[in-house]
Amino acid sequence: MSAPPRRRALRALALLALPAVLLSGCFAQSGSGADDGERISIAMLQPPRSGLSPLSDDAFKLSRWSTAETLIVLDANGQAQPGLATAWERVDDTTWRFDVRQGVSFHNGDQLTVESVVNALQHAIDASPVPRILDGVDMQVVADGDSVVVTTDQADPLLPNRLSSPQLAILDDDAYTDTGVNPVGTGTGPFELVAVDGIVGATLDRFDGYWGEPATASGIDVSFIPDGTARAAALRTGEADVVEAIPAGQAASIDANLITEVPMPRTNTLYLNTERGPFADPAVRAAAREAIDRAAIVASVYEGRADVAEGLLGPALPWAAEHRSDAAYEEVVASRPQAAKVDGVTITLGTFTDRAELPEVAVMLEQQLEAVGFDVQQDVREYQFIEADAIDGAFDAFILSRATVLDSGDPVAYFASDFSCSGGFGISQLCSSEVDTAINAASVTEAGADRQKATMLAEASILATDAAIPLLHERVIQGEASNVVDAARDPAERTLITARTHLDAAP
């Protein structure tokens, strides 16, 4: 069965945006899915980087398509709610018990059991690299009747939130093989992933055996379109029903009724290599910090559709700004060194093309840094081809658009992943005992005002090193055709198409 004309056109946009050499599939295409009723076409920013393994950032695609589910879900306020676990209790400081939902079927027909939950979580614990939500966490899981008992080596007051991470999705045992994790047909959500066409697209069908509210739409057709102009064109021309991450520079060319915009917990940050190269010197890092004009970047590149960063955490977390006037916070930030004078210091600056604004940000940063004496050499590629080099410390500076509460609804996990000595995403190569102490203090503080204060002291400790220079906080610019009903508008980018999302009468 050939794809409908609109789907073929959307895939054509995706193909035009990708080098031909990359069009090999991770899995075999198994069909175009159900055609009995409305299907939702979506254009997504980044293609899979790890074959849609839930143990990678690809997990958030599975979550946004409502195909893979977790024990816990978070509500709009970041509070833990039942998912594949119906209830939980804290047995003691380091032990939690989660009751596994009964009557749940995987897409392949197998039943969800306590043992399958333990198996999925154990694969995450044993993964290399470990999912970033488990960075620095020593966790054990065992079956106990109809429950899963989770034990950590240290008190973890936010363990339920941690288990809401899409990287800890529960897939059937068949998903886990010697060569990786295959989510095709092994999830539990209202939509079944039936085919993946490499880095071009994916097909999902409604799963009629879903344990919860059944999906209204008959399926989802996904196209990966890294080029922002092409994504915007897909919305304007009606080739896509839902488009994520409309570039700020494209928003003005689209009917205002077709886009929504909300602050999101995502910060555009300049990471500086603290381990080697010119920025191993704190005074040289300070010179870079003082050279940067954040407001000019927001006004020019983002056309005002972003917020100037005062710290790593932005307006999506309103409590963050309240603590920056605390005396303890101000004292830590004030400990930053004085800026050195630089003259002809050569640095490499990396970023990626997947977010259309970042190459433009790189150009402006090059101008601002060269104005104070740096000689900037840029390296700009697609994210999938530059991530490993960035994590390995191949650049002196790297511009990253980074979600700050993506995993647990709490920013401490982001701090630990990016800035602790044991973090798995340490682009700045930072290892500071002061920073580790502050992050650890925040991680063991109970939820509430005290945890917020401890979190902000950790932010201050990181900023005092100048390992990361926050530039701006992005906003979600999501495109939706006029007949799209109930697409999720999620600042945390966990959900997009839900069981309730559907198409109304043609616009």
| pLDDT over 90 (residue 502) | yes
User: Among 51-65, 396-410, 463-477, whose mean pLDDT is lowest?
Assistant: 396-410
How far, in Å, are 177, 236, 326 from residue 403 at the CA level? 30, 27, 25
Q: Which fold has domain 5-66+189-241+481-503?
A: D-Maltodextrin-Binding Protein; domain 2 (3.40.190)
The CATH T-level fold of domain 72-174 is Dipeptide-binding Protein; domain 1 (3.90.76)
- Going by C-beta distance under 8 Å and a sequence separation of 6 or more, which residues neighbour residue 15? 23, 200
Per residue in 80-129, pLDDT (tens digit) is 999 999 999 999 999 999 999 999 999 999 999 999 999 999 999 999 88
Per residue in 334-390, pLDDT (tens digit) is: 999 999 999 999 999 999 998 889 999 999 999 999 999 999 999 999 999 999 999
Can you tell me the distance from the alpha carbon of 404 to that of 449, in angstroms, rounded to the nearest whole number?
A: 18
Peptide bond into 315 cis (omega under 30): no
Dig out the tokens for 403 from the structure: 């979600």
| Residue position matching structure tokens 């034990």 | 151
CB of 205 closer than 8 Å to CB of 84: no
* pLDDT tens, position by position, 242-267: 999 898 889 988 999 999 988 889 99
Residue in 41, 52, 30, 34 with CA at minimum distance from that of residue 6? 41
End-to-end CA distance of the chain: 27
Hey, where are the domains in the chain? 5-66+189-241+481-503, 72-174, 263-475
Per-residue pLDDT of 127-176, as tens digits, reads: 988 888 888 789 999 999 999 999 999 888 889 999 999 999 999 999 99
Angle at the Cα of 218 from the Cα atoms of 224 and 12, rounded to 5 degrees: 30
3-state helix, strand, coil in the chain (%, to 5): 30, 25, 45
pLDDT score at 256: 92
- Domain spanning 263-475, CATH class: alpha beta
Task: Say whether 72-174 and 5-66+189-241+481-503 share the same fold.
Answer: no
